Amino acid sequence: MSMKTVFKRTPTLKDYPTHYCPGCGHGIAHRLIAEVIDELGIHGRTIGIAPVGCSVLAYDYFDVDMVEVAHGRAPAVATGMKRTNPDKIIFSYQGDGDLAAIGTGEIIHAAHRAEQITVIFINNAIFGMTGGQMAPTTVLGQVTATTQNGRNANKGQGYPLQVSEILALLPGAIYVERCSVYNPAQIRKTKKAIRHAFELQVDGAAGLSLVEVLSPCPTYWRMTPSKAMKWIEKDMTKVFPLGRFKG
């Protein structure tokens, strides 16, 4: 009895061990993006932007031209790249510190100007790379290195920032969807969303696409990978509801 391969690594995802923690969501998101790039046949004209965060070395994992940029500046860099190279497919890959803390100005204005770029926003409610500090998307009550008693809005620690909801208000943001990777069915949905976000750029749609992916950080959530996925399913989605907000 012979067997057919039904699941194999896609070429744009380099066959290289990642430095991510066991159970980290980055690996899943990387695979989905790489598969979409290969399925759309755009490998030869895609340029990706690696952020500052755990995924700073994303260029070691994606086999496309890539640029590393300063923390939060990816949408501005993407603007410079896309405007001068309209035929290229430009995507930025950003975490919650990168996009929702230091980079809020850049993402809002790129959306305002309806830049024709694809933004994949990985929301794991924490600053992973620097040791688990509070991020703008950290939920109330969540314990982090800088909210050791749990995030408390009454103590001036702010509320979790709902990026998808905010961006959907801007006319220049034409597609905004929040997904997750907490089980295979959700992962499939996330891939559909990512694919749609890339297709819009391939088709020359006049605006910015953003896919927000709720992703686990088992290390700094102090959970097993399995529990982390459940926490997303049961708790995180209460603060960050899944769904298509625009487009």
Partner 1 sequence: MCGNEALAEAAIIAGVDAYFGYPITPQNEVTAYMSKRMPEEDRVFIQCESELAAVNMVYGAAATGKRAMTSSSSPGISLMQEGISYLSGAELPAVIVNVMRGGPGLGNIAPSQGDYFQSTRGGGHGDYRTIVLAPSSVQELVDIMPLAFDLADEYRMAVIVLADGILGQMMEPVVLGKKLQRKLPPKDWALTGADNREQNIVRSLWLKEGALEELNYKLQRKYRRVEKKEVLCEEHEVDDADIIVVAYGVAARIARSAVTKARQEGIKVGLIRPITLWPFPSDQISKIADEWRIFLTVEMSCGQMVEDVKLAVAGKAPVVFYGRPGGGVPTLDQILENIKQLTIPAKSG
Partner 2 sequence: MSGKIRIDIERCKGCGLCVEVCPKGCIFISEQSNKKGYFPAQSNNHECTGCAMCAIICPDVAIEVFRDDNIEAVEPRKRHRPNLVKEKA
- If 0-12 CB within 10 Å is exposed, 13-18 middle and 19+ buried, where does residue 158 land? middle
Asked whether position 2 contacts partner 2 by CB under 8 A, the answer is yes
- 6 interface partner picked from partner 1, partner 2, none, CB below 5 to 8 A per type: partner 2
Distances in Å between the Cα of 156 and the Cα atoms of 123, 124, 135, 159, 228 are: 22, 21, 14, 9, 27
Asked whether position 80 contacts partner 1 by CB under 8 A, the answer is yes
Q: How far is the CB of 44 from partner 2 (least distance, A)?
A: 8
Structure token digits, residue 225: 């990978």
**Contact residue for partner 1 among 31, 38, 88, 133 (CB under 8 A):** 88
Among residues 39 and 141, whose Cβ is nearest to partner 2? 39
Asked whether position 202 contacts partner 1 by CB under 8 A, the answer is no
Closest CA to 49 of 29, 76, 31: 76
Spatial distance between the Cα atoms of 70 and 226, rounded to a whole number of angstroms: 33
SS3 at position 162: coil
CA atoms within 13 A on the CB side of 200: 24
**Contact residue for partner 2 among 50, 69, 101, 187 (CB under 8 A):** 187
For the window 105-124, what string marks contact with partner 1 as x by the rule CB under 8 A?
xx-xx--xx-----------
Structure token digits, residue 91: 């995507």
Q: What is the DSSP letter of 66?
A: E
Q: How far is the CB of 213 from partner 2 (least distance, A)?
A: 13
Among residues 69 and 194, whose Cβ is nearest to partner 2? 194
**Contact residue for partner 2 among 188, 206, 234, 243 (CB under 8 A):** 188
DSSP assignments along 88-147, one per residue: SEEEEEEEHHIIIIITHHHHHHHHHTT---EEEEEE-SSBTTTTSB--TTPPTT--BTTB
Asked whether position 56 contacts partner 1 by CB under 8 A, the answer is yes
User: What residues form DSSP beta bridges with 211?
Assistant: 120, 177
For the window 61-100, what string marks contact with partner 2 as x by the rule CB under 8 A?
----------------------------------------
Asked whether position 197 contacts partner 2 by CB under 8 A, the answer is no
Binding site for partner 1 (CB under 8 A): 43-47, 50, 56-57, 59, 62-70, 73, 76-81, 83-85, 88, 105-106, 108-109, 112-113
